[in-house]
Structure 1
């Protein structure tokens, strides 16, 4: 990439605008943005993949307005198309808010100021400019085919991902986001619907929307192609597979379908091959399918829900059996009264009422089973609030016990002193990995470091790993300390451990402020 201008101050807003052969639209866009955002501290970052004179046009605009920055990507950097362009621009934003929009004037520049006001007044993390909200419109979708595809794509996203239902237009390319709210997200730029990825990967974001009318293109040609449609389907599949919480109900349904296969395979094998009693074989088959479903749900559907210990894992497995029995009861409760209710159906179907009754029973059982698994078997334990008078050493001890860490240290900033500790102490402060701690302080991002054992002359299955977790403690927008946990074990820390500690630490800022640490604790 070749940056043409480097901003030196932290603005309120950065506009990320991908361009590809938009020389006829860029000057008017810049002029209208200047008028709409008059008096505001903003920057414009053009991420350009053009093969025409667009870079020269933007460069001329930049000479007249230093708030404009040009990133012209070479052919190798253009792989991934629009999505990688948007992500590249968002990674450069250092402002409080980032707005993504198109350069073709189909997104009215005058709406940006309104989106910013909504974000500031409501405290929203994301403000979506929606074509489908009341008062919006999509006249810019020139053909009936494009309108059908747009509506179908939107329906698919909202059907698969519950997070997409936060807005009427999860596939819009016109949105504003609080920059810090998406800091640290690992994007998978498979498709071009970046907003959908933000909503799915950060499901707790507060979302608001405003209507806008999608305008007809003024100049140039549309970039919509069949290839982009296929990329969208690939993006849906990628998010579904790689984001643990995405499409959780459908993952549960897939696992349930596999349980039917396991059930029938065990039942037929026991009856036909082992000569078992059919009732006994049925009971064993049901038991096997319940266990199969639990293991797959643990590994796939709820893989982001950590097991505190092996005992915890076994308890969840045991709990899955009464939950399955309750779901079976829900199935029967719906099926039994409807199986002979022929009067509810047309005369020609009266004798077959048991079939829709069975289907409704299955739906009821699935709903009950999924709800109970979510709320009981795989309930996500959320760290509670930390009372402000809790001694830091006590919090360190609780964190050590939960993570089964060898030691947990609370490091003060900026002097890097140990404010509180729990567990086996380090031999000296030099044993702390200061480079990791300094990186966490600088980036404000948590870190997981795993160091494997040295090379051995033969393979080992019980090799010990030295690993650490480092999470910043933030209070009033400042890093006031770092929680640093270490463990040397054949079971290294995982991403789930890091997520848990990050959530646990989120409420600890006021507790660990240096001015609140007693002098004797500071001395360790």
Structure 2
């Protein structure tokens, strides 16, 4: 089967009939095999309406869930039960226009793993939201894109409307919390080939919104779990945590040296070197731990030398950034200092990630040979 349209429903009234009618008009002319799969958690007469639709249309299927409820689990169950090679997820409340499906399929056919209709690219519009929900939506998007690197590939990471190749999900396990399943799929399935098309968000006609404070809390918890389970994101936050501990150690040692009567410059240099060494030990043990299990006995010292070089170089660069921000851009001392610190963190992390703690080509070739021998 070519296409599966997965639609979670909860007390949607006559929306399901309208949805089937609009989907039929859109998909039948494409001459492709398809199914419309409703994942229903309703407590009203929606299951009866879905039953009547499935009897009338052979391409309409539904699963009425009794023991489990929730938007995210409904979608994940739908992904497991869908038979199509291309999976399209959309809401049943008519805010996601079925008329965009041909455009989604065209982009998928260009080789993308996922295609997302976005409200926030040229031609898109989020006019269906009131001002409060626009603020909540904007905040959720910003938090997602700041906290998870892979989500920066899309302008609308909190959307519930998307198409994805089933092959991209094979062998992946999903554990969503709350109402934003797409970011779960992007992060856990390592989706990196993403395209966006513009769309106009439609005002909700029937049913009730799923947006509430409890779901917003679940969203934040969901993001935190994804950070913990995403190695590339977890590494950066561990690096920042180690850096914070280094600041504390630096200040404590600096104060101790001064209390012992040591000149300020010597106290500063010693405390800085000790904090750099402390940062290296912690980063080596935790942040980049998985990268150096098979290295030689000399690699520990080699990494330490590289780390010190990077730390000193980034200190020089961040000092230059601070000076430029203050004397050329005329920023306040505090804002200039924050700019310098941000530059130092980014430079330190990127260079250490790409150089200090990278796996050498020799180790990679040795590992490949070992794997070949084992086979």
Same fold (TM over 0.5): yes
Q: Which residue of 2 aligns with 1:481?
A: none
Query: Which of the two has greater helix per residue?
Result: 2
Mapped to 1, the partners of 2:78 and 2:46 lie a distance apart of 17
1:108 and 1:381 map into 2 onto residues whose CA distance is: 50
Residue in 2 aligned with 1:106?
Answer: 95
Specify which structure has the bigger relative contact order, considering alpha-carbon pairs within 8 angstroms and separated by 6 or more residues. Answer: 2
1:325 Cα shift?
Answer: 1.2
Say which of 109, 119, 139 aligns to 2:127.
139
| Partners of 2:325 and 2:336 within 8 A in 1 | yes
- Deviation for aligned residue 1:204: 5.3
Q: Where does residue 399 of structure 1 map in the other structure?
A: 368
Q: How many pairs are equivalent?
A: 372
Kindly indicate whether the alpha-carbon contact (under 8 Å) linking 1:264 and 1:285 is maintained by their aligned counterparts in 2: yes
Corresponding position: 1:332 with 2:319: yes
Judge conservation of contact 1:190–1:238 (CA < 8 Å) in 2. no
Cα distance in 1, alignment partners of residues 127 and 362 from structure 2: 48
**TM-score, normalized by length of structure 2?**
0.87
CA contact (8 A) 2:153 2:192 kept: no
Alignment counterpart, residue 178 of structure 1, candidates 144, 152, 165? 165
Structure-1 residue corresponding to 2:57? 65
| Change in CA separation of 1:29 and 1:327 when aligned onto 2, cut-off 3 Å | same
- Asked whether the 8 Å contact 2:3–2:88 carries over to 1, the reply is yes
TM-score in terms of structure 1 length: 0.64
State the alpha-carbon separation in 2 of the partners of residues 268 and 220 from structure 1. Answer: 63
Instruction: Tell me by how many angstroms 1:357 deviates.
Output: 4.4
How far apart in 2 are the matches of 1:225 and 1:98?
28
| C-alpha separation in 1, matches of 2:200 and 2:286 | 41
Corresponding residue of 2:353: 374
User: Which residue, out of 294, 298, 316, partners 2:280?
Assistant: 294
Contact map agreement 1:18 1:47 (CA 8 A) in 2: yes
SS of residue paired to 2:176: coil
Greater Rg by CA: 1
Contact kept in structure 1, 2:150 and 2:192, CA below 8 Å: no
Q: Gapped runs of 5+ residues in structure 1? A: 1-10, 386-394, 410-524
Q: SS of the residue aligned with 1:185?
A: coil
Inter-partner Cα distance in structure 2 for 1:162 and 1:256: 20
Distance 1:338 1:230 in 2: 38
Supply the distance in 2 between the matched residues of 1:338 and 1:147 (Cα, whole angstroms): 34
How far did 1:242 drift?
2.0
2: distance between equivalents of 1:172 and 1:382? 40
Q: Identify the residue that residue 44 of structure 1 maps to in structure 2.
A: 36
Partners of 1:294 and 1:102 in 2: how far apart? 48
Query: Counterpart of 2:6?
Result: 16
Q: 2:116, 2:195 within 8 Å by CA — same for their partners in 1? A: yes
Distance 1:146 1:356, change over 3 A: closer
Q: 1:186 to 1:355 in 2, by over 3 A?
A: same
- Residue 192 of structure 1, CA deviation: 1.9
1:305-316 matched pairs, under 5 angstroms: 305=291, 307-309=293-295, 311=297, 312-316=299-303
Q: CA, structure 1 residues 258+29, in 2 after alignment: closer, same or farther (shift >3 Å)?
A: same
Two-structure CA RMSD over aligned residues (Å): 3.0
Q: Which moved more, 1:239-248 or 1:375-384?
A: 375-384
Any conservation in 2 of the 1:245–1:302 contact (CA below 8 Å)? no
How far residue 235 of structure 1 moved from its aligned partner, in angstroms, is 1.4
Q: CA deviation at 1:125?
A: 0.5
Q: Are residues 291 and 68 of structure 1, via their aligned partners in 2, closer, same or farther at CA, if it must alter by over 3 Å?
A: farther
CA-CA distance at 1:189 after TM superposition = 1.0
The 1:377–1:104 alpha-carbon spacing in structure 2 relative to 1, beyond 3 Å, is same
Q: 1:378 to 1:16 in 2, by over 3 A?
A: farther
Structure 2 unmatched runs, 5+: none
Preserved CA contact (<8 Å) 1:164 1:200: yes
- In the TM superposition, what is the alpha-carbon distance from 1:270 to its structure 2 partner? 5.2
Alignment partner, residue 129 of structure 1: 117
The question of 1:408 aligning with 2:354 is answered no
Match for residue 20 of structure 2 among 3, 26, 30:
30
- For residue 259 of structure 1, what is the aligned residue in structure 2? 246
1:157 is paired with a residue whose SS is: helix
Shift of 1:216: 1.4
Residue aligned with 2:374, SS: strand
Contact 1:252 1:297 in 2 (8 A): yes
Task: Give the drift of 1:306.
Answer: 5.2
